[in-house]
Amino acid sequence: MIKIDESLLQEIGLNSLSSDDKNSLLKHIYETLEMRVGVRLADQMTQQQLDEFEKYFEAKDDVGAFNWLETNFPNYKEIVQEEFDKLKVEVKASVPSILQSIQA
């Protein structure tokens, strides 16, 4: 299960950040993951599927969107996990520059 919370920051070595910096970084990680998963899924969708999914997105119907994904892309959870794992590696590799930019 994917957890984008303080335990993630502790795991990658960013537990020393202030609460505001932690919250900002967690939000950024979540938004980046959401975008990357969306791009990967959109690349696999037909125009009709894009239109159907967009209706859920525009209606802010998260439950409907997840149900639609489970029906049309049963492997979407694997895609989410793959993208999360890649993003975690990228953020971990950037820890020194993240700490340096926050301290500046």
Tens digits of per-residue pLDDT, 87-103? Answer: 999 999 999 999 888 87
pLDDT at 57: 85
3-state secondary structure of 82: helix
C-alpha 52, offset from chain centre: 22
pTM for the predicted model, two decimal places: 0.87
- The answer to whether residue 56 scores a pLDDT higher than 90 is yes
What is the spatial distance between Cα 66 and Cα 76, in angstroms, rounded to a whole number? Answer: 9
pLDDT at 48: 97
Determine what percent of the chain is predicted with pLDDT higher than 70. Answer: 100
Q: pLDDT digit string (tens) for 58-86?
A: 999 999 999 999 999 999 999 999 999 99
